[in-house]
Every structure is written in C-alpha cells, then in structure tokens.
C-alpha cells in the first residue's frame, strides 16, 4: 500500500484558487459593482477557498494516517519516526473536521472499483479455487451511538456486555463440536481475557476519567493487543489477533449488531472481503454459507490461518497492494492453488477454476490402484485434524494414513492436552483405519509456532533452523514423554511413529534412549503395547548423504519434499524474494530422492513421499520413475492422485526420470517434464 501525497495537480488547483480569490475584488470593481457588494463577494470567495483547501489537505492527511499501520518502512521515502510525528501532529485536525461534518473524511475517499481484469498475489492461501461475487464483511459501525454513552451508564453497559460475550462464546464453543481441537482453544483464551481483572479495571478507569464507552473499550483492548505484539515470541505475538477479535466482539455486543441471520443473508454463496479476519469469524462465515474469504492482512501462525487451513476453507490473505474496496461487488476468482486473486476474470478462467474445484468431487476410488504396468501403488492421506478429517478420509478411499501431523491438537490450546486426551484422539485415528497402516509424526513445532504452555527461552532469527521439532522435544522432555506415551498406548501392529527434523545420530541416540525409557514405564504399569514401527522424516540433506547409516535401524521413511527442498537449496519457501529458486524438481533434489529410494529398496524398506510434490500431477511421473510407490496427499487430492497414477506406465516413467536426472538446471527439467 502506498502513502497518498498532495500531488502537483492539487497544488495547481490550490494556486489557481488563490489567484482567483485575489483577482475577485478587482474584477468586481471594474465591472461597476458597488463596494459593499464587492467586499461581500470577496469574503464569500475567501470562505469557499478556505473550505476547499482544508478538505483537500485534510483528506490527504487522514489517508496517510489511515495507512500508517500498514506501511512497510523499507517502502517509505522518509523515516518511520517522521511518519509517527506527522500522525500525532495532524490527527486532532482530522478528528475536529470529521466531528464538524458529522462523518468520517476517509470514508469519502473510496478507491475506484476495478473495471477490467486485475490480478494480485497473496502470501497466504488455503482451500480450493472458487469464483463468486465479493461482498464486505457486514460488521457494521455503531461508533456514533457508543460515543454518546458515558459515566455510570457506560460502566453498567460494559459490565452487562462482558456477561453477554461470555454467554456468546459458550454458545460458539458448543456449536464448534465439529472442530473442537482448533476453535475451542482460541475461544477459551478469549474467555480468560474477559476474566482479566487488570483489563476490566483499565476500561473502568477510562470511563471514570470521562471517556465514552466505545473509546474506553478501544483504548484498553488496543493497549492489551500492543503488549502481545511486543512479545519476542511469534506464537504469543499471534495472540494479539485474538485480542482484536475480542474487541470487535465486545463492540458488536455493545451495539447489538452481531446478527447471525443478517450475516448469513449477506454472505451466503459469496466471497467475503475484509481488511483482517478474526478467528471466531471464520466459524461464523463457514456456518453462514460463505464460499471464500479475501483479507488484506494475515500472519502465517495466526489462529485465523490455522482455522482456515484446518477447515480447508478457500481463502487468500496478506496482499502487498490490494485494497479490498477495489473489488467490492465484482466477480473475483480465488486461485488458491497459486495464491492468486483475479478480479473480473474472463469466462475461460472461471470455467478452469470450476473444473479444478470439481476435482474434489471426483468419484471415490476405495480400492488400491496400480500403474498400467500392474505395479502396486499406495495413495495415503495426510491428516491434520483428527476430528474433521479422519471419517472423511475413510469414505474418500484413502489406502492408509501416510502422515498424521500432530501439531493442531497442541497449537490452538491455552495448555497442553493431557496424555489421556491424546491417547483417546490417537486411538480414534488408529481404529478408524482398522487394518491399514497409520504413520504418526511427533510434534513438528518450532520457535515461530509453540504450543500453549511452552515459551521460547530466546528469540530466534531463523526458527526453521533453530530449536524445532525433535530438538524442541528433547529440550522439553515432559512434552516428549506425554506424546510418546500416548502414541504407544494407542498404536496397533500397523502403526508407525516417525521423528521429524533429524540431522544425525547425535539426537537419534537421545531419542531412542527416551523412547525405550517411556516404553519401559508403560510396561511396568501393566500396559499391553503393540509392536510399533519407527521411522524418520527425510528432510535434512545430512541424512540423505549418509542414508545407508540409518536404513537398517528404522522400518519406514517419509520423504518430506517441502523441507528437503528448502534445506537442500538454501531457499526459504515462505520468502517471495527467492521464490524463483524454490523448485522441488531441481536436479539435485531428484538425485537425492533417487538415492534414498535405491538404498531403501536394497533393504526392503518403505519410502513414502509427502508434501506438494506428492500431490502435483506434473511431478508424479518422475517420482514413480525415481522409485516412489507410496504417496501421502491431502484429503481432497486422494481421488485425483489415484486416477493420475492409474494412467502411468512404469517403463515410460523410468525413462523420463533418467532424462530428468541428466539435466543441469530446473528449466531443463521442466522442458523434459513438458511443463
């Protein structure tokens, strides 16, 4: 977003207005107008000039003030301190004029709605492609009414609103039965905030000092949000969004405008646009029938993104240039697979999006498939949320659970789940797939995303290469013990437990010793344990280089193509500046995959491919040619991947892999693969 300035066209308009004002008396006198009327006309002209100048200049000031929170310092032409001083200097002028006019100046400065095809790129995306009409989130604005409530009446309404919001959160939690592991932890945190005596006292203090009700709530919650934003840990900084969500809910309750029926009427079948979406609003939009969301602002580890991802809800967020008011009321395409928003897409794009959307509804193939040559392949499912995905995965025909990501059960809670809670959840997963294999991955959390109750002891500039995954569990043995014991208790003879982010035997020796200790504890307690298989995530180049040292000591291996790509190529997959360098089909990556497959085949061990490469139809042929026979994909891709694999011929795939391995660069590989 850019900062508007008083451009040269405005300057010339102002100069012209002053020039006309100065000439006005002379012109009137030359025309024979009496002096009294000349003076009156000149004063009238000067008044019009003053009004015109103030409106034009103050609109610009207000626009600058409005965009200051979203300004990136590196994009500014001047220092951040200068901008803050500017805001403080002129904010009272803007407020004064707005009060005199009885309306907000910035509301008058609407960006022009697009009239031709326009495209934007987002940094965050979830769900499948969708096309529809964009409508704003109907939050409403009752600030004028709240500004009139002060004194004892304000204190009374605030106390009543706290009770109302508590009841509302209880109701939402009861209705979130389909998504308990994700949504409830967020709502529990908001309930705790409502019990914070210091927050309540701060609101009451502002009211006693003469602040209106709406202003008192805004000041207190903004201060609380700022305290969270200043915390060094990214997980706790993300809690600031929950504070803002609760502020919106408080304001809506005070205004009496949170009408679910109204929301449903306006958003059903539509794509909702907003500056920022709150976590509880995600559940509301899903319930009210919205088909997608576009938000200007978003953070990767925020609870909003966790919810959107877990629900597989179509969304695009965190744009660099988009002002959502530009697409209000127009047809838009959410190309979630490519993190792309298209305003006024052409007919062909809309049809293509619809076709991609309908791939989710491909007829279910419940039986395992084979290649054309008769070679068996396994299409397993990647599970993120036990509560929402397990039963669907069984119905969709998943051959197995190729990867269970266990983080969601932890990250959306204010505290750790108990061992018994984890055991019950993992048992449901294992029992749902009966005699089919289930691969459960230990927690893959890091310094940028921590479970409730766990605080980073230090700031990490690069958390992806810091105290993450097994390193984090080794540093927190209580957490390691709790999850391992739960997995061992829930496992059957078809269950595998794999360890992520392992770089060598240094940590593996510690891991194995602790697992043996926890196993001994359970047996001493009289627990009956099934023979569990153990495995590794192959995502660090050091393990690939010495893979022969590990293959005899583990039963199964999961090839994490996403992390292996970023670690092997030294490319942050979340950094747009180096996005062109992130390529899972790089010749070096293909060589690594072939090495792992060959060594594993020599020892009769399984290699399961997961990540984006395993679900992309364009890379399936080369993976098959390199030796991959097991694929773990998201729920919505099971049928599509099964169909694609059933059309592949093994000799053709092997020849294709040989040609790709002979390439020296990624573009050459793309040429071989026919991209």
pLDDT value at residue 209? 87
Residue whose structure tokens are 């803002």: 244
Backbone CA torsion sign across 41, 44, 50, 51:
negative
Cα 123 to its chain centre, rounded Å, is: 9
DSSP 142: -
Q: Which residues of the chain have pLDDT under 70?
A: 1-19, 21, 54-110, 139-148, 171-186, 232-238, 255-261, 279-280, 283, 299-303, 306-307, 310, 353-363, 411-415, 446-466, 573-577
- For residues 203 and 216, the answer to whether their CB atoms sit within 8 Å is yes
What pLDDT shows up at residue 183? 52
Which residue carries 């958390």 as its tokens?
A: 463
What pLDDT, on the 0 to 100 scale, is given for residue 525?
A: 95
pLDDT digits (tens, 9 = 90+) for 494-530: 999 999 999 999 999 999 999 999 999 999 999 999 9
The dihedral built from the CA positions of residue 348, 351, 357 and 363, taken in this order, carries a sign that is negative
Between helices 666-673 and 650-661, what is the axis angle to 10°?
160
CATH of 110-139+260-360, one of 3.50.30.10, 3.30.930.10, 3.40.50.800, 3.30.1540.20: 3.50.30.10
DSSP state of 603: T
| Neighbour tally for 241: CB within 10 Å | 24
Determine the topology of domain 370-673 in CATH.
Answer: TIM Barrel (3.20.20)
**pLDDT value at residue 266:** 86
CATH class of 141-256: mainly alpha
The predicted structure's pLDDT at residue 78: 46
Eight-state DSSP code of residue 559 = E
**Residue 575 phi, psi dihedral angles, 5° rounding:** -105, 110
113-165 pLDDT per residue, tens: 898 999 999 988 888 888 999 999 876 544 445 556 788 878 878 887 888 78
Please name every residue paired with 439 in a beta bridge, in sequence order, or none if there are none. Answer: 496
Among 332, 262, 325, which Cα is nearest to 292's?
332
């Amino acid at each position: 977003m850019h900062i508007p300035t008083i451009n040269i066209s405005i300057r010339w308009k102002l100069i012209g207005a002053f020039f006309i004002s100065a000439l006005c008396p002379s012109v009137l006198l030359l025309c024979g107008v009496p002096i009294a009327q000349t003076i009156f006309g000149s004063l009238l002209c000067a008044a019009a000039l003053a009004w015109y100048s103030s409106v034009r200049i103050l609109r610009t000031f207000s626009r600058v003030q409005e965009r200051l929170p979203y300004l990136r310092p590196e994009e500014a032409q001047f220092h951040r301190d200068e901008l803050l001083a500017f805001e403080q200097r002129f904010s009272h002028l803007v407020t004064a004029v707005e009060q005199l006019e009885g309306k907000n100046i910035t509301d008058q400065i609407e960006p022009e709605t697009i009239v031709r095809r326009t495209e934007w790129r987002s940094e965050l995306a979830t769900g499948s492609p969708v096309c529809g009409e964009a409508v704003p989130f109907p939050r409403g604005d009752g600030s004028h009414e709240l500004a009139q409530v002060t004194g004892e009446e304000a204190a009374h309404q605030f106390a009543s609103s706290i009770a109302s919001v508590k009841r509302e959160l209880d109701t939402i939690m009861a209705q979130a039965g389909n998504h308990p592991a994700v949504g409830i932890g967020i709502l529990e945190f908001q309930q705790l905030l409502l019990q914070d005596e210091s927050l309540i006292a701060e609101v009451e203090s502002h009211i006693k000092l003469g602040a209106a009700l709406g202003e008192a709530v805004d000041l207190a919650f903004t201060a609380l949000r700022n305290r969270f934003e200043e915390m060094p840990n990214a997980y706790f900084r993300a809690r600031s969004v929950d504070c803002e969500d609760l502020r919106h809910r408080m304001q809506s309750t005070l205004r009496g405008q949170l009408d679910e029926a109204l929301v449903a009427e306006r958003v059903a079948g539509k794509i909702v646009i907003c500056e920022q979406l709150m976590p509880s609003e995600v559940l509301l939009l899903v319930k009210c029938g919205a088909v997608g969301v576009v938000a200007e602002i978003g953070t990767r580890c925020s609870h909003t993104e966790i919810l959107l991802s877990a629900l597989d809800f179509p969304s695009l967020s965190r744009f660099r240039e988009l002002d959502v008011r530009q697409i209000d009321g127009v047809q838009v395409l959410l190309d979630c697979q490519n993190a792309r928003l298209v305003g006024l897409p052409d007919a062909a794009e809309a049809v293509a999006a619809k076709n991609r959307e309908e791939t989710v509804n491909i007829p279910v193939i419940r039986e395992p498939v084979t290649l054309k040559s008769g070679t068996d392949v396994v299409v397993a499912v990647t599970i993120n949320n036990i509560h929402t995905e397990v039963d669907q995965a069984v119905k969709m025909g998943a051959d197995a659970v190729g990867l269970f990501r266990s983080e969601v059960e932890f990250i959306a809670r204010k505290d750790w789940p108990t061992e018994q809670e984890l055991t019950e959840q993992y048992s449901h997963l294992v029992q749902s797939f009966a005699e089919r294999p289930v691969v459960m991955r230990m927690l893959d959390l890091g310094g940028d995303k921590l479970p409730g109750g766990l605080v980073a002891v230090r700031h990490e500039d690069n958390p992806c290469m810091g105290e993450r995954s097994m390193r984090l569990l080794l540093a927190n043995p209580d957490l390691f013990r709790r999850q391992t014991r739960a997995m061992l208790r829930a496992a059957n003879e078809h269950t595998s437990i794999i360890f992520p982010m392992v770089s060598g035997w240094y940590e593996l020796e510690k891991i194995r010793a602790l697992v043996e200790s926890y196993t001994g504890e359970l047996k001493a307690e009289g627990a009956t344990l099934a023979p569990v298989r153990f495995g590794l995530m192959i995502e660090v180049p050091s393990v690939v280089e010495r893979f022969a040292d590990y293959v005899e000591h583990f039963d199964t291996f999961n090839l994490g193509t996403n992390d292996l790509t970023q670690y092997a190529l030294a490319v942050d997959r979340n950094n747009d500046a180096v996005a062109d360098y992130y390529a899972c089909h790089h010749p070096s990556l293909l060589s690594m995959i072939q090495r792992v497959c060959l060594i594993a085949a020599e020892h009769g061990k399984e290699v399961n491919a997961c990540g984006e490469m395993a679900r992309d139809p364009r890379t399936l042929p080369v993976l098959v040619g390199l030796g991959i026979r097991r694929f773990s994909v998201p729920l919505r891709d099971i049928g599509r991947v099964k169909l694609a694999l059933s059309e592949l011929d093994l000799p053709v795939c092997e020849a294709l892999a040989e040609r790709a391995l002979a390439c020296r660069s990624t573009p050459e590989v793309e040429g071989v693969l026919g991209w």
